[in-house]
Amino acid sequence: MCKPLFPSHLYHALDFLAEHKEEIEEFLFRRVRSLFDCELDLAFWDTTSTYFEGSGSGKLRWTPLSR
């Protein structure tokens, strides 16, 4: 039988992931590179879910549409 899952469990897991972020990224990078047996010449970064926060108003402020 499964134990109940509480938000604190998820926060603890996120803390762990944040602590080991660099190691996880390096491992995944090497794994994918070896899986496809390729040399890396160019990397694309998906920024479709990136956003910025700030204060102030003006013409540069823009609210993106939902996906």
Q: What is the pLDDT of residues 15-33, one digit of tens each?
A: 999 999 999 989 988 888 8
**How far is it, in rounded angstroms, from Cα 65 to Cα 51?**
12
| 48 within domain boundaries | no
Domain encompassing residue 12:
1-37
Q: Average pLDDT, whole number, for the chain?
A: 80
| 44 within domain boundaries | no
Return the pLDDT at 53. 67
Return the pLDDT at 42. 73
* Domains of the chain: total: 1
| 5 within domain boundaries | yes
Residues near 29 by beta carbon (within 8 Å), at least 6 away in sequence:
none
Return the pLDDT at 11. 92
| 22 within domain boundaries | yes
Return the pLDDT at 23. 96
Enumerate residue ranges in the chain where pLDDT < 50: none
